[in-house]
Structure 1
C-alpha cells in the first residue's frame, strides 16, 4: 500500500506589512497551474497586512515620515490596487506626508488582492502562538493548549514584540501603582488621546524626543481641540499646562527636505551611487577598519560636491574629519542647544540655510538605503563589522529618518506658545515624588504629574517577552549575531542557531535580525529584496512549481 505524500504547508507568525510583502513575493513565484500552497497565518491583531504601526483605526494625526513622492511600494502584477497614490481616492500632493491609517487601509486592500489571486491558499488564525516545536514530520505550532501542524516552513515576522521594561521604566511602573503619578505609553495614540482628556492644566513629561514624540505632541494638543494657524499655536484650554520632552542628547531629529526641489539638491549621481554600491558590498565582507575606510571614501566626494554646490565650501573641506568623529562617537559633534538645533534644522529643510556636513551626509545616506540593503543584507558579515556598520546607520537616523518639516514647525510653535518646554530636554535627573516625578537639570527642577514613554525598545533578544520567541532563544534556536546585535540569520532569512548551523524550516525577517540585516525599520524593506530572497528559498526548499514553468 502506498501513501501519497502530504502537500507542504507553511506557517507565518505575525501578519503585518513584512509578512504581506513576503507572501506577495511568494505568490509571484507560484505557477498559475499549480495547486495553491496552503499558508496559515497567526496574529491576534485585527488589522492583518497593516499591523499596529499602520493600524487603520489609528488617529489621522499620526503620519508617515515619508512624503508621497518617496513612497514606492508598488504591488505585484496580480494585484488590482495600483500604487498607494493611485489607490487613494483623494491623493495628496507629492510633498505631503500621508497618515499611517490611510497606508494601513491600502495594505489591507493589498492583502485582499493576494487572497483573491488564488496562488496561495490563505487561512488566518486570530490567535497568539505560544510555542514552536520541531518534530520529524515538521514544525508544530502551539495555540493555547492545542498544537497545530505540521508545517514544512515557519516564518517569524513579529515586528517589535513586547520586551521587558528597562530599569528606569520598570521603576516608574512600580511607582505609578503607589503614587498619584500617571504613567502612559505613546501608542496606541487613540488610547493616549482618551487618557490625555484628563490632563488639562497638568505638567506632562515625555521620555524620548524622536519621531514618536511628534505624535505625542499632537495627541496632547490638536487632538484635545487646539489648532495651528499662521505659524502659531491656538490653545483650547484642554491641553496640559506644560509638556517637557527629554532624551539622552535632548536634540529633536532633523526634518526632511520640504520640497522635491530642495530634496533633489542632495541627489547623488548615478556613478556615485555605483561607487557606494561597490563599497558597501566590500565593506560588509571586510574588517571593521576596512569598512569604515571604504564607506568614508564613497561618501566624502559626494558630500563635498553637494556642500560646495550649496554654498558651504568650508564644510566640504571638513567632511573627512566629520566622518572620522562620527564613526568613533555618533552624535558627538552636535553641540547646539535643543531649540537652536530645531530652528536650524527647519531652515535647512526649507532650503533657506546652507546644509551642515551632518545634514548633507544624512540626506545622501537616506537616498542610498536601497543600495545599502542590497550590498549588506546578502553578505556574510562578521559580528565586529556588523556592529560598526549598524551603529553608523543607526546614528545617522537623526538625519535620514527625520519628520516632515511641518512637524518641526509645530514643535517650534508649541515652544513659542509656552506649552512645550525644552529646558530639561538634555538627559535630566528623574526622581520620584508622591504626586509623580521631578525633572532636574542645571536649568532647575520641575515637578510633573504624568510621564509618557515614547522610546522604541532595541531588538535585543535577551529582553523579549513573547513566549514563542523566549522558547526559541532558551532552546538555542534563536541566537544573537553578537551581544549588541539581534538574531543571526542567513541571507534568505533562515535562522542560525547557537551551534552555528541553520535551523531547517525556520526563518525570521525584520528588525529582530538587526545585524544580519541593516536598515530594517523602513517600510520599503518590507517589500524589498529580503522578502524576495525568503520566497525564493521557500520555493527551492519545497520544490514548488514556479511561475512561467
Structure 2
C-alpha cells in the first residue's frame, strides 16, 4: 500500500479498486535487510554458517544412504542460468547424479560476470534485487531453498549497484557450495561444446562427455571481441580488445543504451581518468568519442529504488484474467498495448496528484480510474492540466533540436532533468514511477506474448520492431550516476553526441556520421557497435548451435509465416525441437537463445517476485532427473 506520497516499500502496489486491505506479499522467512546483524552473510563465508548448515541438510535428503542409480546430466553454459539448473538438480536429487558443466569460462560467473573484469563496470540492477536462491514466492515443484541476495551476501546497500565482478564473486561462492552435495557430483570442463551426438557431447579440445542422460543448453549472448578493419560488431564491452584504439583517436559509438555506458567507462576511468565533484579529470589517454543513435539521447536513467526488495506494481488492467481472455491470435497494439498504457498512466497520475490529495482521495482516484478503464475524462475532474498529461510521443521520442549549436545546451538540460527525476526515486517521481511499471509488468507481458500468443506479423512489427526497443529506452537504463558522468564528459569535451538519426557510412580512412550538432559529418577511424547482438540462430557464432542447426537437431522458431531466429523449444520444461518439429525428450534449453519463443530472456532472478528464471530452472532440472531411459542421441 502507498502512503500519500506513493511510497511502496516491501509491499506490492497497484492502481485499482480496493477489495479489502491488501497485506502485500507474504513475508514469512523473508531475509532481513543488509546490516541487520547475523542475517547478513558476508563474502567468502561459505563454511560453518547457520544458513549453510540448514541448506546442506535440505540438500541431503534422509533415507538414501545407498544410492543405486546414477543419472548423468550435461549443462552447457556455466553462467547464472546454468548454475541455477545445477542448484535445482541438487535440490531435487534423490539418487546419485553426476552433472557435467561445460564452459570455457569459470563456473558460476561464466563469461559475462567473470571476476577479472574492471570494478568500474556496474550491474544495472540494484543489489537487493539480485539472487539465485528460491524463496517461498517461487511456485516451483521442487524444494525451495532460500538464501542471501547479492546485497546481503556482500554486506552492501540493497539499493546500490554492485560491480559485475562482485556479482561474479557471489556466483562463484554459490557454485562452489553446490560441489559439497552428498548425492550430486559436479564435474567442470573448462571447454567449449561443439556438437551433440550418439557418442555424447563433443568438446573443442577433442574430448567427449559420454553416457549422458540429459543435456541442458544454458547459453548466453555471443558477440565479437576484436576490431576488424576499424569496426567492432555488437558484443559485450568487457570482452572487447580496445588496445588498438589510440589516445585522441576519433571513435564513433553507435547506440546510447547500456553497452554504450560500458564503453564510456572503459575509455575514461579504464584509462586513468577520474570523476570528481561533477567534473571529469582526463588522463590524456582517452580517444575522442562521438555517439550516434536513432533518438539522439541515452536510455532513461533508472529512478532511485524506493520499492525495497519485493515491492512492485500489481496490475489493475493487464491482469492474468484479461491475458487468459485474449483472442487466440491477439495483436499486440490492439489487444495488449492499451492495457499496458493504462497501467503506466494510472501510476503517473497517482504520483502527480499525490502532492495535493490525501491518501483517501488518492484511493478514490485510483478506484475511479480503474473502474472507468482509464477514461481520460476523469483527469478534468481532478484538474490535471493538459501540459502535464502523459504523452508517449514526447516521452518515447524526445523532440531533439536538429543540427546546429542549440543541440548541445538542449542535451545538457535534458540530461540534468533526467538525473533530477531519477534522484527523486521510482515511487516519489511520477515519471520514474510510471516508467518502472514497465519493469514490473514483464511477467504479465510474457504471459500474453510467449509461445506464439500473438500473431507473427504483430510480433515482428509491434513487439520486435517497436515495443522491445521502446521498453528498453524507457525502463532498461543506467543508474543516474552514469548520466551524471556523461554530463561531465560532454562538458570536458571528451564526448560528443550527434543529433538523432545520423546515418553511418564508410569513407576513405574510416567511418562518417551525419547530423552532428555542427551540421557537418564527423569522420572517425573506428566504429563500435555499442549494443548486444541480436538473437538469431541462423547467424549465430556459437559453434554448438551452428552444428545442431546444420544437423537438423534444432530449428528457428516460427510464429505463422514469421521465422524469428530464436531457438525453438516446447512449453515447460522447454525441450529442444528439431528440424522435423519433434521435441527431443532429453535435450532442454532456456535463456537468451530462446528469445522470441519467450520475451525478455536476459532478465535475471529477483528475490520475492516469483522469479520466472528460477521456476524454469527447476522445471528443467526435474525433467532431466525424471528417469534415465535411453541415453541422449541425435
**TM-score, reference length from structure 2:** 0.70
CA contact (8 A) 1:184 1:453 kept: yes
CA distance in 1, matches of 2:305, 2:475: 15
For residues 166-177 of structure 1, what are the structure 2 equivalents within 5 Å?
173=228, 175-176=229-230
Determine whether 1:533 maps to 2:597. Answer: no
- Larger mean CA deviation between 112-121 and 293-302 belongs to 293-302
Q: CA deviation at 1:18?
A: 0.7
Change (3 A) 1:146 1:215: closer
CA distance in 2, matches of 1:219, 1:542: 48
Comparing both structures, which one devotes a greater share of its residues to helix? Answer: 1
CA distance in 1, matches of 2:250, 2:532: 23
CA contact (8 A) 2:400 2:499 kept: no
Match of 2:175 among 111, 126, 132: 111
Match of 1:286 in 2: 328
Match of 1:547 in 2: none
Match of 2:582 among 498, 501, 520: 501
Change (3 A) 1:488 1:341: farther
Match of 2:603 in 1: 522
Determine whether 1:363 maps to 2:444. Answer: no
CA distance in 2, matches of 1:151, 1:384: 40
CA distance in 1, matches of 2:334, 2:385: 22
Match of 1:463 among 536, 539, 542: 539
Q: CA deviation at 1:143?
A: 4.3
CA distance in 2, matches of 1:526, 1:50: 20
Match of 2:186 in 1: 122
CA distance in 2, matches of 1:455, 1:75: 31
CA contact (8 A) 1:41 1:124 kept: yes
CA distance in 1, matches of 2:387, 2:627: 51
Match of 2:114 among 49, 55, 76: 55
CA distance in 2, matches of 1:412, 1:154: 48
Match of 2:256 in 1: 209
Match of 1:26 in 2: 89
Match of 2:347 in 1: 306
Change (3 A) 1:318 1:499: farther
Determine whether 1:512 maps to 2:598. Answer: no
CA distance in 2, matches of 1:87, 1:202: 42
Change (3 A) 1:306 1:271: closer
CA contact (8 A) 1:18 1:526 kept: no
CA distance in 2, matches of 1:294, 1:235: 51
Q: CA deviation at 1:351?
A: 3.1
Q: CA deviation at 1:427?
A: 3.0
Match of 1:546 in 2: none
Change (3 A) 1:205 1:86: same
CA shift digits 1:165-217 (9 cap, x unpaired): 9xxx9xx83x34xxxxx758875538656555xx2222222122210111111
CA contact (8 A) 2:222 2:533 kept: no
Match of 2:316 in 1: 272
Match of 1:179 in 2: none
3-state DSSP of counterpart to 1:260: coil
CA distance in 2, matches of 1:10, 1:58: 30
For residues 309-388 of structure 1, what are the structure 2 equivalents within 5 Å?
309-311=350-352, 313=384, 322=392, 333-337=397-401, 339=411, 341-351=414-424, 361-373=434-446, 383-384=456-457, 386-387=459-460, 388=462
User: Gapped runs of 5+ residues in structure 1?
Assistant: 177-181, 544-549
Determine whether 1:82 maps to 2:148. Answer: yes
Q: CA deviation at 1:229?
A: 1.8
CA shift digits 1:212-231 (9 cap, x unpaired): 11111111112222211221
CA contact (8 A) 2:315 2:343 kept: no
CA contact (8 A) 1:139 1:152 kept: no
- Larger mean CA deviation between 481-490 and 412-421 belongs to 481-490
Match of 2:71 in 1: 8
CA distance in 2, matches of 1:360, 1:78: 31
Change (3 A) 1:386 1:11: farther
Q: CA deviation at 1:78?
A: 9.5
CA contact (8 A) 2:223 2:236 kept: no
Q: How many equivalent residue pairs?
A: 500
Match of 1:39 in 2: 99
CA distance in 1, matches of 2:232, 2:346: 48
Match of 2:124 among 55, 61, 65: 65
For residues 448-459 of structure 1, what are the structure 2 equivalents within 5 Å?
448-459=524-535
Match of 2:281 among 223, 234, 238: 234
**TM-score, reference length from structure 1:** 0.80
CA contact (8 A) 1:186 1:216 kept: no
Q: CA deviation at 1:55?
A: 1.1
Match of 2:303 in 1: 257
CA contact (8 A) 1:75 1:83 kept: no
Match of 2:478 among 403, 406, 411: 403
- Please give the root-mean-square deviation of Cα atoms over the aligned residues, in Å: 3.6
